[in-house]
Amino acid sequence: MNALLDDLCWRGLIAHSTDLEALGAHLDEGPVKFYVGFDPTAPSLHMGNLVQLLFARRLQQAGHKPHLLVGGATGQIGDPKETGERVMNSREVVAGWVERIRAQAERFVSFEGDNAAVMVNNLDWTAGMSVLDFLRDVGKHFPVNRMLARDVVARRLESGISYTEFSYVLLQSMDYRELYRRHGVTLQHGGSDQWGNITAGVELLRRSDQVRAHALATPLLTKADGTKFGKTESGTVWLDRELTSPYAFHQFFLNAEDAKVVDYLKVFSFRSREEIEALEKATENEPHKRLAQKALADDVTDIVHGSGERQAVVAAAAALFGRGELSCLSEETLRGIMRELKAPEVTLPMPLVDAFLVSGIVESKAAAKRAILEGGAYLNNEKVTDPEFSLTETDLLGGCCAIVRRGRRTVGGVQVGTGR
C-alpha cells in the first residue's frame, strides 16, 4: 500500500474510501490536489473540524496540495440534521462567519512552496448561477430515488424535510466538480457523517465529466462509552479561544480516558509510530503518570494555540494546585480557569467560609470552618487560619477572581465583574 495511506490506516483515520488501491496508485503518480470543506454554521470551527484540518496537513506534508473550502453558499442552507430542520442564518451572519472560519483554517496548512494551500469559497460559483442552469446542469444527474435512500433523508421523511435541505447534496456535489474543473482537484476527504455527500460528488463527476475521482472519510471519534468526542457538559470544544479558553482546551485533552487516549494521539498528534507506541506501553504499565494524556494535551494545544499559550496554561494548572505562583497568571488565563471551575460571581466583602461553600469545595459552612481550623484551607495558595476571615477586593487575582482550595486537590473559585 502507498506509505501515506498505510500511515493513515494505522492512525485509524480511514473509515470509508472509494477504492484504496486505486487511490494509492493515484497518489504515487505525483502530487494530488485535494479538498475538504467547512460550512460556516457557527462562528468557530470545533474538534470535528480539527480532525479534517490535521488530515489535510498530513496530506500536504506528504507532498499533496490542499484546497480548503469555506461554504459561503452551503452555509446559508446547512446539511440536513437528523433531529429536524436547521434555523437558517442571515446572509450577513454567514458572511461574517465565513471570514472567521477562513482565518482559523488558514493556520493549519502552509500557503508557501510548490504545494501551497488554496482557500476557496463556494459562493463564488453559485451566486451568479440561475435556478434553471442549476437544475439543467446539476439536478439532471441526481435520481430522486437515490436521494430518498440517503440515511438522513430517509429518517427525516416522516417528520418532514424541506426541499432546501433535501437539495443540499446537489450543492456540495457541485463543489467537487467545480474544484476539479477550476483547479484539477481529484480527491475529497471529510467526516464519515458526510460520506453520502462526498460520494455524490464523486458520482456527479463520473456522470457529467466522465472522470474517476477519489474520496476518503475519517471515522467519528467517540469516548469509551460511545458518546461523541469533543462534547462536554458545558458544550462543544471550540477552536476559538473566546468560546473555549486555552486552559479549558488543554484540560479537555488532559482528561482523556486511558482506553481512548492512544486513539486520540494517533489522530491529533504528529508524533511517530514509535513514540505513540511507547506512550501506549506507558499507559498500560504506569497509568497513574498519565504520560499519554500530557503528551496529547500539549501537542494539540501547541497546534491550535501555540507553544507559548500551552506553557502558560500548564503553569496555570500547576499554580492552581499550589505548585506555582498564581499572581503571575494573566487575567485571560484566570478567566479561563474560572469558567472551567464554574466559579460563581459574588459580591465582596464575603466571609471566606461562604466563598468555600458557594464555590462547591465544601458542603456546609461548618465544614469550611473545620477545614480552616484543621489547617487545610487556602486562599490563592496561602493558608488561612482565621475562620472569621473575609474576602475583599485586595485578595483578588488580576482584580477579577480568587482561588480557594481545601487540602491538596479540592479547588474552586469565585469571581467578580465578569460582565458575561
State the cell numbers at 325.
505562583
Sketch the domain layout of the chain as residue ranges: 3-220, 221-305
Question: In whole angstroms, what is the distance from residue 330 CA to residue 67 CA?
Answer: 37
Backbone angles phi, psi at 229, to 5 degrees: -80, 140
Question: In whole angstroms, what is the distance from residue 216 CA to residue 195 CA?
Answer: 8
Q: Are 239 and 50 in contact (CB under 8 A)?
A: yes
Q: Are 399 and 332 in contact (CB under 8 A)?
A: no
Closest alpha carbon to 391 in 339, 344, 325, 324: 344
Q: Is 163 annotated as a binding residue?
A: no
Q: Is 104 annotated as a binding residue?
A: no
Q: Is 231 annotated as a binding residue?
A: yes
How many CB atoms lie under 10 A from the CB of residue 28?
12
Block residue for cell numbers 464555590: 359
Question: Which DSSP category does 46 fall into?
Answer: B
The correct CATH number of 221-305 out of 3.40.1400.10, 1.10.10.10, 1.10.240.10, 1.10.730.10 is: 1.10.240.10
Q: Give the H/E segment covering residue 86.
A: none
Q: pLDDT tens per residue, the chain (420 residues)?
A: 699 999 999 999 999 999 999 999 999 998 999 999 999 989 999 999 999 999 999 999 999 999 999 999 999 988 877 777 778 889 999 999 999 999 999 999 999 999 999 999 999 999 999 999 999 999 999 888 888 777 788 788 778 888 888 888 999 999 999 999 999 999 999 999 999 999 999 999 999 999 999 999 999 999 888 888 887 777 899 999 999 999 999 999 999 999 999 999 999 999 999 999 999 999 999 999 999 999 999 999 999 999 999 999 999 999 988 888 888 888 888 988 998 899 999 999 999 999 999 999 999 999 999 999 999 999 999 999 999 999 999 999 988 999 999 998 899 999 997 544
pLDDT attached to residue 81: 76
CA distances from 45 to 142, 222, 269, 312, 321 (A): 30, 18, 18, 23, 31
pLDDT attached to residue 417: 73
Q: Are 267 and 13 in contact (CB under 8 A)?
A: yes
Q: Are strands 16-17 and 214-218 parallel, antiparallel or unpaired?
A: antiparallel
Closest alpha carbon to 414 in 353, 330, 323: 353
Q: Are 205 and 141 in contact (CB under 8 A)?
A: no
Question: In whole angstroms, what is the distance from residue 50 CA to residue 215 CA?
Answer: 18
How many CB atoms lie under 10 A from the CB of residue 415?
23
The CATH-assigned architecture of domain 3-220 is 3-Layer(aba) Sandwich (3.40)
The HSE-up count of residue 44 (CA atoms within 13 Å, CB side) is 13
State the cell numbers at 45.
470551527
